[in-house]
Structure 1
Amino acid sequence: MAEEKKISQGLKSALELGPVLLFFIAYTRLKDETYVFGGTEYSGFIVVTVLFIPLLLLSTAILWKLTGKLSRMQILTAVLVIVFGGLTAYFNDEKFFKIKTTIVYGLFAGLLGIGLLLKRSWLELVMDDFLPLKPEGWMILTRRLTAMFAALAIGNEIVWRTMSTDAWVKIETFGFPIALFAFFMSQSFLFQKYADEPDEEEA
């Protein structure tokens, strides 16, 4: 397995969040425009969605080149963006790209839920190096995060089905990430209570 290389947190954040912010900026500029390709009219949203695909892939490729590693979430996101972005363009229908968010959060909730049924925290497998917790702490965090992902999936369905595309883009770009950030901040007491401190020999 290739050794992960270290890069600055600022560069890493720029590569991860840059495409999403550029999508938002491009949407605000092109949302009222209509473009014709091959005799078919496409809204600004669909054009921006199609442009977002190579931008995300380029950012992901640069991140992999610089670090030598990609997380499962980054790989899954790239695959789903390609699939549902392609469906959005092919059927000329915005809903396919909007559903992608529901599927991402729903998959995370489902996978973590399956682990819980097996009495395992699969969250621990991907976050243990970053956040060392005792086993009981991982189980509690996994149950809470499973519920959070399920709530976000349901929330996305409500938003895109009942609100405007403008509202969905803003909530997708800022609302859901802020909600996840707030969730992890709210778990600070759990992190302190179940922190897995190394013993003296390990230290």
Structure 2
Amino acid sequence: MNSSMNMPQNFNAERKSGTVLFCDIRNFTHLFEEKDPLKAVAFANSVLAELGTVVERGGGTVDRFTGDGFLAHFGVIQEDNSHIDSACKVAIEMRAALQEINAKRYMDVENVVTIGVGIHSGEVAYGEIKTEQINQKTVLGDVVNTAARIERLTKYFSVDILLSDSSYEHVADSFNFQKMPARKLRGKKNKVITHWLLPMN
């Protein structure tokens, strides 16, 4: 790998093109504060498992869990020219799955669980991290960091799914979007434009 990508020393990787989806599941903290911790853990696990199944069913790979969420990627392991389209379809299905989960808990309106999703595409480093404690395959690089920072913008804009402008250009005619105001992302010199993936009618 090129050292300019600032990869870990024990990371044997290759360059891949694909789409990264970063998902944060919200209101878990409140659940742990209000409910029996064992029940809260069981519920959190069930939500993560359900959304993970949606990702895999849509052709994606859950790369790693990140506390209250996870990172997934499309078109990295197996080349797929429609990886952006696949990520958008999965995000929409995740939205629907969460609506069903919340509907089953209709008596618990104060603890509705929501998601924030950031989607960005480009070149990533995909490979294996090997240490005495860790042996796992993962994706790293600016695309991953940008997807995570776009996800954080969902909270700022009070929306659930945001795409980067470069990803949007490839699927603009396939889904309904709303262009969001340009915002500064940490680590980026210029403001970035994102697009809200609108709920389907």
TM-score, length-scaled by structure 2: 0.29
- Give the number of the structure whose residues are more often helix, by fraction: 1
TM-score, length-scaled by structure 1: 0.29
- Give the number of the structure whose residues are more often strand, by fraction: 2
Q: Which of 1 and 2 has higher RCO (CA within 8 Å, sep 6+)?
A: 2
